[in-house]
Amino acid sequence: MSLLKTMTALGVASAALFSVSGSFAADLSIYSDKTPWNAGMTGLADAASKASGATIKLQEITPTDKYQAFMQTSIASNNVPAFFTWWNGNQLSDLVATGAVADLSSYWDQAIKDGNFSATQKDLVSVDGKPYGILLNVANWVVFYNTKDFAKAGIAAPPTTWAELMADCDKLKAAGFTPFNAPASGGWMPFIWFSQLVLGTSPDAFVGLTSNKAAYDGPEVHKAFALWADMYKKGYFTDPREQDDSKFFADGSAAMFLIGDWHSGQFATMGMKPGVDFKTFLMPSVTPDVPQSIIVEASPIVVSKAALAANADLGKAVTAMMGVDGANQLGSSVQAYDGNLKATPPNDIIKADNDLVAAAKPRALVRWWEAVPSQIQGDLVAEMGKFMLTPTPDNGEKVMTDMQKINADYWASK
């Protein structure tokens, strides 16, 4: 074959390949990084397709940092996907500031009128009073406990005060269990106990940390760290280096696990029956006079402003995803609860938590993870992880100083 012919063939082939890969970009997509919820997300995509008449496909990118990188470069190059999962709090306001996502006020107003959602839920995904996302998952952060372990340690009922909790920890230790499963894996888990202890000491300090009104080496944080170091000294926590974040809870060697109630679906797949093998209780405040607070995690799906403007039918997709059927589908396929008031709770745990919250009416607070400015999120979590590996008071002092330096530098540069 002559050179010219070969080059022509190559040119035609590459043009063909190019056009094939380019055509994928024309389909509408819903992007997600929550791969364990694949079945539920596919169901949502199907519902959205049916309602709007367009083809909407699910695209997954994992892990989380790759997903965020993809979104950041997409938006920077004006290539925003039609729908994608995101986080609320500061992460949402950063996104809203780019102007890439649509204001969904009209859809929320309709949903509230239909009784699908409440106004407080709307606040979870609002920036400056306007909602910019629909809810994919609303989770309360509670303490899971292994009923068999508690029975063996002679604990009749879950604790309602901090003193009771500490006493229960001692009972569990005496019975040969580790009280709390507390891994430092995944690059995000270290913040869980940090924020819970600060929250339990002073909810105002907890909120102030992420808005530059409280310091990471302030007195409340000092109290939290002292408590944390003491709990480590007493052996209340599992080895933070363990990569499997559910292992010690699933095999029963650790009796409790502080995590979002969406994890109940995962425990169910590991063979534990919700409500039978494990139950939940609300974490009591550290100081008795501090009112009960609870950390609420809300994951939204956001909609591209450009896509919504270009295709009015997409609005029907938004309404479909906010509806009862969408919620029930999510619940039955992956046991995720999107907060829809008319939907059936996916499992007993989530139902129980909703009842607990309705009864105790704790102050609901956004997770530290979403509230903290995203630029310093990773650096601060790394510091907390350093403490968990060496949980001594001296290291605690160093970690607090380093965290405050990162925090102060960030706010000074604004």
Q: What are the structure tokens assigned to 86, written together?
A: 């995101």
Is 97 a binder of other proteins (CB under 8 A)? yes
Site mask, other proteins, residues 188-207, x = CB under 8 A? --x-----------------
Q: Does 375 engage in binding with other proteins (CB under 8 A)?
A: yes
Residue 16 or 174 having the CB closest to other proteins: 16
187 is an interface residue for other proteins by CB under 8 A: yes
Cβ neighbours of 143 (radius 10 Å):
20
Least Å distance, CB 378 to other proteins, is 5
Query: Is residue 253 part of the contact set for other proteins (CB under 8 A)?
Result: no
Letters for 341-370 (x = contact with other proteins by CB under 8 A, - = none) are ------------------------------
List of E strands, 270-320: 278-281, 293-303
Residues 257-286 that bind other proteins (CB under 8 A): 270
Please give the distance of CA 150 from its chain centroid, rounded to a whole number. 28
**Helix and strand totals (H; E) in the chain:** 20, 11
For the CB of residue 241, give the shortest distance to other proteins in the complex, in Å.
5
Near other proteins by CB under 8 A: residue from 378, 393, 397, 401: 378
Q: Which of 8, 72, 160, 211 binds other proteins (CB under 8 A)?
A: 72
Residue 182, CB-side half-sphere exposure with 13 Å CA sphere: 23
The answer to whether residue 100 forms part of the interface with other proteins (CB under 8 A) is: yes
Q: Write the CB contacts of 350 (distance below 8 Å, at least 6 apart in sequence).
A: 261, 264, 335, 337
Q: Which is nearer to other proteins, 2 or 113 (CB)?
A: 2
DSSP string, 198-231: HHHH-HHHHHHHTTTSS-TTSHHHHHHHHHHHHH
Instruction: Kindly tell me which of 162 and 188 has the beta carbon lying closer to other proteins.
Output: 188
Stated length of the chain: 414
**Contact between 244 and other proteins per CB under 8 A:** yes
Q: Is 412 in the site for other proteins (CB under 8 A)?
A: no
CA atoms 310, 312, 316, 322: torsion sign = positive
Q: What are the backbone angles phi and psi of residue 284, rounded to the nearest 5°?
A: -70, 160
Indicate if the alpha-carbon torsion angle 269, 274, 276, 280 is positive or negative.
positive
Q: Do the Cβ atoms of 135 and 121 come closer than 8 Å?
A: yes
**Rounded Cα–Cα distance for residues 108 and 225 (Å):** 41
C-beta closer to other proteins: residue 77 or 128: 77
Residue 346 near residue 269, CB atoms below 8 Å: no
Interface with other proteins in residues 74-93 (CB under 8 A): 74-77, 79
Residue ranges in contact with other proteins by CB under 8 A: 1-3, 6-7, 10, 17-18, 20-22, 24-25, 59-63, 65-66, 68-70, 72-77, 79, 94-95, 97-98, 100, 184-187, 190, 239, 241, 243-247, 250, 270, 374-375, 378-379, 382-383, 385-386, 389
